[in-house]
Structure formats: structure tokens, C-alpha cells
Amino acid sequence: MDTLFEGLNKDQQLAVKKTEGPLMVIAGAGSGKTRVLTFRIAFLLQKGIDPFNILALTFTNKAAREMKNRIGELVGFQAARNVWMGTFHSVFARILRAEADKLGFPSNFTIYDTDDSKNLIKAVVKEGNLDPKIYQASYILSRISAAKNNLISAEGYINNEDYMLEDKKAGKPYLGQIYSIYQKRLTQSAAMDFDDLLFKTNVLLRDFPDVLYKYQQKFKYILVDEYQDTNYSQYLIVKKLAANNENICVVGDDAQSIYGFRGADIKNILNFKKDYPEVNLVKLEQNYRSTQVIVNAANSLIHNNQNQIFKTVWTDNDEGERIKLIRASSDLEEGRLIAQQIFEDKMNLLAKNSDFAILYRTNAQSRSLEEALRKMNIPYRIYGGLSFYKRKEIKDVLAYFRLVINSKDNEAFNRIINFPARGIGKTTLEHITIAASENEKSYWDIIEQPQKFKLNINAGALKKLSDFVLMIQSFKAELETIDAYELGNKIARGSGLISNLHNDKTPEGISRYENLEALLNGIKEFVEKDDDSETPEEESFKGLSIFMQDIALLTDADEKDKDDIEKVSMMTIHQAKGLEYPYVSIVGLEENLFPSVHSIGSRVDLEEERRLFYVALTRAEKRVVLSYAESRFRWGTLSFCEPSRFVDEIEEKFLDFPRSRSFSKSAMPSNPYKAVSNRNTRKLSNNPTTISGDAGKSTYKRIQSEASGIVNRPTSSFKAAEIDDLQVNMEVEHQRFGLGKIIKIDGAASNKKATVHFSKIGEKQLLLRFAKLRIVK
DNA sequence: AGTGATCAGATTTTT
DNA sequence: TCTGATCACT
């Protein structure tokens, strides 16, 4: 057993060995958190704890899978497989299916994704004759989501004066009603949205003490990873389940909390002590991942946040190279420079493509990077973006699957009732909607028994509907008899989807056909692979329902990366959480992009944004490259950017600044022929496995507009002063901050910093390397 | 019912 | 700039 502890430091050992009672592990970035978690579970298993008694909640399914593998390697795969491990959503979806009857749901309920939820909200808004511009689906959904994550039901919402007043002030007084109808429709459709999975778990544990007791007995040991990113709803589930045994271990890092927008609450970490006065606290402060430069640069950055748990992350590793800062004149040039950098590093450092990651704030930024990498023949893989499961052709066939499994699923119904076209039109649909609404039934219930619900339509339409019903019913009959692959194929063909796509000979059509094929192949793999299912206990028959349960909560990040060995990884910083790479480029370090416009207004949001940058920096093992562009295409137009304040916040001694270039030179677009972009870039970028593509038809227009944009730069008259010309007491002008007076200049030569008092916004420190100041007087 | 034209909205992050 | 939603026309 002792071998298990070799290679763990004292704190890590403590965190592994202290199996009984509440334990909180504050784990700095790169401090071996995952190691501690896996070893802890392995240790429990070695001690003879039944794997079925261990519940481990992770942030992604991928993390769960990897952890299972590592535990398997330590103590055997049989035991590892039986540990309950997964995301909150997937674990509790499973429990909800088992206990569904208690909540008035069938166990095959559908999980609505965000699109489904939005469509449902749109329909509700329309039915209520409300203005969809005022009652915007995305806004309403976020509002409902926030309420659910705070365990406020629709009823509770309507009775809550604060919510109602807020909505009234916002000019949206009917939001509570929409919530209420939305929820009713979900139930009629036998569906739950993402937040319901947690909300209803809370209801289950609250209203059914015997069920609560059962799971308390079952989960004798509970571990929660990324505790800083749990919301109130999740917090309460954990608290209830742990109440009996109190063998609860949470691991997190307040400095890496980046999901506040989703209701994550750092207070869960801060308040852990209050809930469990007996708590043992372990801090993991030694970073094993990164160089000293990276660790200390990240520390200097995060130091700008006010809300923190005190800890000192340090490392024994080499000092390492300074963080290189790249300035580009445009987003296209930024891509080019980053690609070039990777190309050079590969040669000089004998590195592999897979040693590199490019991280960005928003998915939209991937485009220019992709183009540049493609041009230099550097293979890459984009994580996220439009996921495979969000493509139209995939959603279509999945909608058939969904309707076959749970026919009450109205959103699936809507999607396919007339696709491929079968002559069921708007009027017919309207009648169905009305009948469903009046009788409080699902659409399917209505068309299954049209006479019972007095569906007021003509014989022709009736015939078409009954054909559809018969088709779906014929598929339903085979749910339990043939496996997912066979049935999936039957549905794809029988529904007419395959022939529909087959007739489309355009490149897009062919690609859609191939995607559908890929899905079917995926199902085949699922059926054939005999073990490592994420569901312990149950199941041997691999039917379509099981397949759908398996993929309902998958995201792109969860996809296997077997063919990624030789590719540069590209992803948003959110997606990079928990990952590490030798060489990391963080791009787009510009005001209003990173930090994003939306965060700049409030300190809380800005601090989250800063933590996001902290996460980005600490992904790197050996070296970080930062870049920003002076202009960038956004919303189809060229806009000018300033370097991010976050760059200033890193202590200068860790930075390697770009060589000074004359402004006009850097602003000139380089050879436009090099910058030819690809019309299909977006499509290509959506395909995770695409590594190359030829230029195709160029969007020459874009290049032109960029060039002209620079020439006609509205601020071209703004001529920044040379750094050395600036003196204390001078009156200066800044493009964004307006007029001000230099109060102080410190720092030597290239790293000079000026303190300027601006009449509009007050005092500000500016690194003269970045800030462009014009001398007024 | 299907097609084409026109217009609005999007881009913050995700289970 | 691109996508989708809506509307008018055939």
C-alpha cells in the first residue's frame, strides 16, 4: 500500500490519507490536484471500500473518464469501473431516471438542450402574444436558469417580490408567467432542461426522505472536483447526500473560478467551514507544472483581485523563459505571427505539434488562426465551436430518435413532423398546437388519437398524420428488440432522411451525408464496444435509448482524441480548464475582448475575467506567448483595439516585449496574396478533424476592406509621441481616456511607466510601451 | 407548399 | 459577414 504514496509530497499524502470526515483541499494551479483525487479514490478502494459506495463528481465527462483510467491502472479496472463518477448532470440524470416515477416523469424523459429550451420559450412567448423582441428567448432562459440554480420554482418566482419587481422594471412583467408555462410544457413533453437535472434532484431528495436515505447510505464517500465552480443547487445536493456520513472531500481553487455566469458561487468554498466546523483543510501550494516565470507572472496578475483565499503558489522548477509578447497590426497578422512562432519553436525546440495550444477568449477568434496554421501546413484541432451534435443533419436524425424513445417530446416533434416534407403544413400544425394546449397534452398525444381530441382538420391531412404516427410506432415497437445501430439505420432510412441527403449533390450536401454516416458509425462503435460504459450495475442490451442517454450530456470536449497526437490544440480558455501544454499561446489580449466588454462594468465580473486569464497562463509548462492585435474584424467591420489591461498587470520582469516598430510599418497590411482566406473556413472549422483545406475562392473583399480600413483609419491624425519625449507635468491626450496630465514617470528605458491624471476618469498608470499618448502641451 | 428575397441579430464563456 | 427567420410571391 505504501507504494501508493511514493512520489506524493506531504500535503498531497495528507489529502489522500484523510479519508474520514470532511476535508477541503485548496489546490493551486498545477499542484497535482488530479493526482490527489485519483490516489485518494485508489486508496479508498485499496482499503476495501466498495466502489459502489464512492461518488466522485467531476466537471467534465472527459475528466471522469481519464480519472477512471488512472485509478484502473493503480488498483485494477474492475473496481475503477464501478465507482460512480461523472459530472453532476450525468450522475443525477441517471438517478433521476431510476426514480423518475416519484416525480411524475417516465424514466425515458428527454433532456432538452439550450436550443430546445429556447425554441420552447419562443413558442410560449408567441402564444402569449408577447413581443419576442422584449421577451428574448436567450434572456428569459438565463433568467429561468438563474432562478432554478437558486432553487426557485416558477411558483416561487411569481411569489417573489424581488424577482417580480426586477422584471417589472426591466419592462418584462410576464417573465414569471412564461417560466410557469415553460415548466408546464416541459412536463407535458416529459422533458427536463439542464438545470432541471439539478433542480429536480433537489426536489427528489427533499420530498422523499426514503430516497435521500437510500443515497446517503449508498454514497458513503463523496468527492467533488472543481468545487469553486459549483452553484447553489449543486452545493445543496452534495450537502444533503453527505449529511449522514460527512465523508466529503471537496477540491478546488478559488483563483480558478470561471463559471460565475452560470451561477457558480465561490462562496461554496468560502463557506465550507461553516457547514463542517470539523473540516480539515489542506493547501496544495507547490506547482509542479510550470516554470518559475509562469508561476510568478500568474501570481502577480491574480494579486490584482480582492476576493481571494490566501495562498502562495510556488515552484521548484526551472526559472524558464520570459513570457513573449507579440504585437500584430491585425487579427490576420496575429494569426500569421502565432503560426510562425509555433513553426520556429517546433524547429528550435524539437517540439511536437501536440505540445502547443492556442487559447482564446471567444470561439470566433479561431478563424484567423486557422487560416494561418493551414497556410503553414501546421495540423490543428479545434475544440468546441459548433459541435458535431449541433449540426442540422445530426439534430434531425436525433430528433427522430428522441421521438421514438419519448413521443411526448414536442421539440423533437416540431423538428421532424414535416421533415423530410410530407405535406403537413402550417395550418395543420396550428390545429395540433391549439388542441394540445387546450387539452394539456403533447402534440403526439393529439395526433395519436385525433378523433378523441376533436382535431379539426381535413381527411387528407389526417391521413398524412396517421402515416407519420404509424411510422414512428413501427420504430417504437423495435426499441427493445433490436440494438441501437440496427434501429438507428432503420430510422435514418425509413424516415426518408438518407434519401433526402443522398439527392443533394452539392458539397455541403455530401458533407451532411457523411456526417450522418459518421453518426451511424459512432452508434455501431457504441454497440460493439463491450465494456467501459459509464453506467455501472445495469445494462447489457445496447438499445437506442441507452445510446441517447449516453450522448445527451456529451460535449465536444468529451470526444476521444485518438488522432490528435500530432495536432496543435485550439480552444477557448474555458475549455482549457484542467489541461496542460508545454507551450501555450494566449491570443487576443485586447480591451473589450479580454477582458470582454460585458465584464468591464463591474468589479466582480472583471475579477472573474482576470481569473480566466490566470487559468490560461497556468496551463503552460514551459513557455507562454501572449499576443494582441491593433485592429480586428468584428461583426464584419474593422475595429481598432488597445492592449489588454491584464498585460500591464503582469509584473514587467516576466515579460519579453516586442521590438519597437514604427507605427506606420506595423499598421501596413503585409502581402495580401498571403492573406487570402477561405470562404469555407467556418464550415471547415466546424469539423474537428479537418486539418487542411485549399484556399478555394478567396474572400478578396475582406482583404481589401481591411486594407482600406487601415488607410482610412479615422484616427490616423493621432500621432503618438516618442516615449522619451514625454515628461512629467506635460498635458497629453489618450485615444480612449481623453485629456490628462502626466504626474509621474518611473521605470527605466523601454519599461517606462507613467502615472497620468485624466480629467475624465482620474489617475491611471500606463505602460508607455503600449499607451499611445499625444503631447498637447 | 415551396422558393427567393429581404432583414435583423449576432459574438462571452457551457453542463 | 454570416445565419436564420419572416414574408411575399408563384
Q: How far is the CA of A112 from the C1' of B14 (A)?
A: 14
pLDDT at A662: 35
Q: Is 90 exceeded by the pLDDT of residue A636?
A: no
- Could you report the per-residue pLDDT of A299-330, keeping only the tens digit for each? 999 999 987 777 889 999 999 999 999 999 98
Q: What gap in Å lies between CA A593 and CA A599, rounded to an integer?
A: 10
Span CA (A573) to C1' (B12), Å: 11
Residues 6 or more apart whose Cβ sits within 8 Å of residue A97: A107, A108, A109, A549
Partnered with residue A592 across adjacent β-strands are: A596
Residue A49 scores a pLDDT above 70:
yes
Q: From its phi and psi, is residue A539 left (phi > 0), alpha (psi between -120 and 50) or beta? A: left
Whether A699 CB is under 7 Å from strand C: yes
Per-residue pLDDT for A430 more than 50? Answer: yes
A674 closest CA partner among A393, A413, A435, A336: A336
Nucleotide nearest to A704 (CA to C1'): C1
pLDDT of A677 reads 32
**Residue A708: predicted pLDDT:** 27
Question: Between A723 and A274, whose confidence is greater?
Answer: A274
Bridge partners, A315 (sequence order): A287
What is the CA A424 to C1' C7 distance in angstroms? 20
CA of A103 to C1' of B8 (A): 41
**CB-to-strand B contacts below 7 angstroms:** A 59-60, 87-90, 114, 133, 136, 138, 194-195, 259, 261-262, 361-364, 384, 418, 421, 423-428, 553, 555, 557, 572, 574-575, 596-599, 634-636
Q: Is the pLDDT of residue A583 over 60?
A: yes
Give the pLDDT confidence score for residue A735 in this predicted structure. Answer: 62
Range with the lowest mean pLDDT among A68-72, A404-408, A718-722? A718-722
Q: Give me chain A's average pLDDT, please.
A: 83
Q: Which of residues 101-140 of A touch strand C (CB under 7 A)?
A: 132
Tell me the three state secondary structure of residue A745: strand
Protein residue at shortest CA distance from C1' of C1:
A636
DSSP string, A417-467: TTSS--S--HHHHHHHHHHHHHHT--HHHHHHSTTTTT----HHHHHHHHH
For residue A560, pLDDT beyond 90:
no
Strand C contact nucleotides, protein CB < 7 Å: 1-4, 6
| A424 CA, B2 C1': Å apart | 13
Question: Which long-range contacts does A422-426 make (Cβ < 8 Å, 24+ apart)?
Answer: A422/A464, A422/A467, A422/A468, A422/A496, A423/A460, A423/A461, A423/A464, A424/A461, A424/A464, A424/A465, A424/A468, A425/A461
Stated in angstroms, how far is A418 CA from B15 C1'? 30
| H or E segment to which residue A283 belongs | strand A280-284
B11: residue with closest CA to C1':
A364
In order, the DSSP letters of A285-323 are -EESSS-HHHHHHHHHHHTT-SS------EE-S---PPE
Average pLDDT, integer, range A186-197 = 94
Closest to A282 (Cα-Cα) out of A61, A644, A13: A13
Q: Quick one: pLDDT at residue A698?
A: 29
The answer to whether the beta carbon of residue A490 comes closer than 7 angstroms to any atom of strand C is no
Predicted TM-score (pTM) of the model is 0.82
Q: Is the CB of A705 under 7 A from strand C?
A: yes
Distance CA A710, CA A668 (A): 7
- Residue A381 pLDDT > 90: no
Q: Which nucleotides of B are covered by protein (CB under 7 A)?
A: 1-2, 9-15
CA–CA distance, A189 with A409 (Å, rounded to integer): 5
Distance CA A645, CA A666 (A): 21
And the C-alpha cell for A92? 443525477
Residues sharing a CB contact under 8 Å with residue A351, sequence separation 6 or more, in sequence order:
A345, A582, A583
The DSSP string of A463-487 is HHHHHHHHHHHHHHTTTTTS-HHHH
Q: Is residue A737 scored above 70 in pLDDT? A: no
Residue labelled with grid coordinates 480539515: A280
Q: Report residues 366-405 of A contacting strand C, contact meaning Cβ closer than 7 Å.
A: 392
Distance CA A263, CA A570 (A): 26
The C-alpha atoms of residue A214 and residue A205 are separated, in whole angstroms, by 10
Per the CB < 8 A criterion, the answer to whether A654 and A359 are in contact is no
Is there contact between A682 and strand C, defined as CB under 7 Å from any strand atom? yes
Nearest nucleotide (CA of A390 to C1'):
B14
Percent of chain A with pLDDT over 90: 51
d(CA A221, CA A245): 8
Q: Which residue is nearest to nucleotide C2 (CA to C1')?
A: A636
Q: Which nucleotide is nearest to A231 (CA to C1')?
A: B15
CA A519 – CA A390 distance, rounded (Å) = 12
Contact A18, A250 (CB under 8 A): no
Q: Mean pLDDT over residues A689-704, rounded? A: 28
Residues A347/A316, Cβ–Cβ less than 8 Å: no
- Taking the C1' atom of every nucleotide in all shown strands and the CA of A701, the nearest one is C1
Protein CA at A223 to nucleotide C1' at C1, angstroms:
47
Determine the residue type at A377: N
The three cell numbers of residue A139 are 434572456
Task: Identify which of A398, A393, A422, A394 has the alpha carbon closest to the alpha carbon of residue A412.
Answer: A398
pLDDT over 70 for what percent of chain A? 84
What phi, psi does A631 have (nearest 5°)?
-145, 155
- Lowest mean pLDDT, pick from A72-86, A144-158, A366-380, A387-401: A387-401
Q: What is the CA radius of gyration of chain A?
A: 28
- Residue A664 burial (CB < 10 Å; 0-12/13-18/19+)? exposed
> How far is C-alpha A334 from the geometric centre of its chain's CA atoms?
24
CA A437, A439, A444, A450 torsion-angle sign:
negative
CB A337 within 8 A of CB A328: yes
* Closest C1' nucleotide to A572's CA: B13
pLDDT at A534: 47
Q: What is the pLDDT of residue A563?
A: 58
Whole-number distance in Å between A258 CA and B12 C1': 12
**Nucleotide with smallest C1' distance to residue A633 CA:** C1
Instruction: Give A447-476 pLDDT, tens digit per residue.
Output: 999 999 988 888 888 888 999 999 999 999
User: pLDDT tens for residues A20-46?
Assistant: 999 999 999 999 999 999 999 999 999
A524 touches strand C (CB under 7 A): no
Instruction: Out of A71-85, A674-688, A752-766, give the one with best mean pLDDT.
Output: A71-85
**pLDDT band at A513; cut points 50, 70, 90:** confident
- Residues 619-658 of chain A in contact with strand C via CB under 7 angstroms: 635-636
Residue A107 pLDDT > 90, yes or no?
A: yes
b/e sequence A61-73, b meaning 16+ C-beta within 10 Å: bbbbbebbebbbe
DSSP state of A82: H
Q: Are strands A762-767 and A738-746 parallel, antiparallel or unpaired?
A: unpaired
How many Å does it take to go from CA A609 to C1' B12?
10
Nucleotide nearest to A197 (CA to C1'): B15
**Distance, CA of A426 to C1' of C7, in Å:** 14
Distance of CA A280 to the CA centre of its chain: 32
Q: How far apart are CA A140 and CA A128, in angstroms?
A: 14
Task: Answer for A683: CB within 7 Å of strand C.
Answer: yes
- The answer to whether A679 CB sits below 7 Å from nucleic acid chain C is yes
* CA dist., res. A328 & res. A369, Å (int): 13
- Residues paired with residue A773 on neighbouring β-strands, in sequence order: A734
Which residue type, as a one-letter code, is found at position A536? P
Q: Which nucleotide is nearest to A363 (CA to C1')?
A: B11
Separation in Å, CA A478 to CA A404, A487, A545: 10, 7, 11
What is the pLDDT confidence band of residue A765, given thresholds at 50, 70 and 90? low
Return the C-alpha cell found at A486.
440496427
The catalytic residues of A are 33-34, 225-226, 256, 619
d(CA A17, CA A198): 31
* Assigned C-alpha cell, A36: 490527489
Top mean-pLDDT range of A102-116, A506-520, A632-646: A102-116
Q: Are A233 and A223 in contact (CB under 8 A)?
A: no
Task: In whole angstroms, give the CA distance from residue A594 to residue A453.
Answer: 55
